[in-house]
Amino acid sequence: MPSIPSGQARLFAFQGDKLLVRIEPSITLPGPHEIRPPESDDCHLDIFPQAEGRACSCIVLGKDFSIPGGMQLVSLREVWSLLGEDIFVRAGRAFQLMGWHRETRFCGQCGKTMTDHETETARTCKACGLTLYPPVSPAIIVAIEREGKLLLARSPHFPKGRYSVLAGFVEPGETLEQAVQREVFEEVSVKVRDIRYFGSQPWPFPHSLMVGFTAVWDSGEISVDPREIGEAGWFAPEEFPEIPPSISISRRLIDDFVRRHSLES
C-alpha cells in the first residue's frame, strides 16, 4: 500500500457497514497511524486524488478488532451529525469503493485476478482486457403536491410512524422523467405532470444516486401497492407525520415544499 503523508491523509476504517470515529477528546476521524492495519492486502484501498488534494486510505477491520480507547463504531447515517456533510459524502464514497474493490478481485469474464487501473477509478483484467467501473444505481425521488398538500407515504421498511416522499430505481431504457411517472403510478396509482428537476444526492446504501424532482398531481386517487407502501396520503404542512432527518434529499424536498407554501400564505 503506498505511503500517505500523515498530515494530509484521511483514514476511513470500516467494520461491516460501520465507520470507526474518534469521539474523545474531540470528534474526528482517526489518524492514519492510530490504527494497526489488517495484514491482508485485500483489506486496503487507497483512493487518489480527493477533491481537496488529500489522499483517502480505507481499511476493513475484522470482527475481532479491539476498538481503541476514545473511539467507537458509528453508522454512516450518524457520520452526518457527528462530522458534517463533507465527511459523510467522502465516507460514503470510501464505503462504496471499498465494497466494489472487494467484489472485483476476480474477472467475471475469464476468472483471472483483476488489478487497479493505472489512471482511472476502475478495475482491469490484464488477461482478457475487461475494465469495470464502480456501479452507480440511479433512483428518482419526487415531491408531489395537490392543492397545497404533499403526498407522503410510509414504507414497511421505515422506522415506525415515519413518512417520506416517493422514490424508486430507474429501469434500463427509461428517462428520469419516465421513471418518476412509472414509480408514482405503480406505488400509489396517481398520475403526475409538471415534473421538474430539484437536485441530487449520492446515497451510499449501497451505491445509489438519488435524483430529486417536484411534480404536480394530474389525476387518480391514492391506491397503494402493499408490497411497496404501507400507507400514503395528502398532508398539509401543519398535518405532517414524522418525516426524515435533514441528512437526506427527501427532507430537502419536504422542506422546500413547506418553504414555498409559507411564502404563498
- The domain spans of the chain are 10-103, 108-134, 137-264
| Cβ atoms of 43 and 11 closer than 8 Å | no
CA distance 37 to 228: 42
DSSP SS3 for 102: helix
Strand partners, 192: 217
pLDDT value at residue 6: 41
CATH dotted code for 137-264: 3.90.79.10
pLDDT value at residue 9: 61
pLDDT tens digits, the chain, 265 residues: what are they? 333 334 446 789 998 889 999 999 999 998 877 887 666 655 666 664 443 445 568 888 888 888 989 999 999 989 998 999 889 988 998 899 888 988 999 999 999 999 989 888 899 999 999 999 999 999 999 999 999 999 999 998 888 899 999 999 999 999 999 999 999 999 999 999 999 999 999 998 889 999 999 999 999 999 999 999 999 999 999 999 999 988 899 999 999 999 998 876 5
CA distance 252 to 261: 14
pLDDT value at residue 115: 92
Residues 6+ apart with CB under 8 A from 195: 142, 177, 180, 181, 213, 214, 215
Residues 6+ apart with CB under 8 A from 248: 201, 203, 210
Q: How far is CA 19 from the centre of its chain?
A: 15
SS3 sequence, 34-91?
Answer: CCCCCCCHHHEEEECCCCCCCCEEEEECCCCCCCCCCEEEEEHHHHHHHHCHHHHHHH
pLDDT value at residue 243: 96
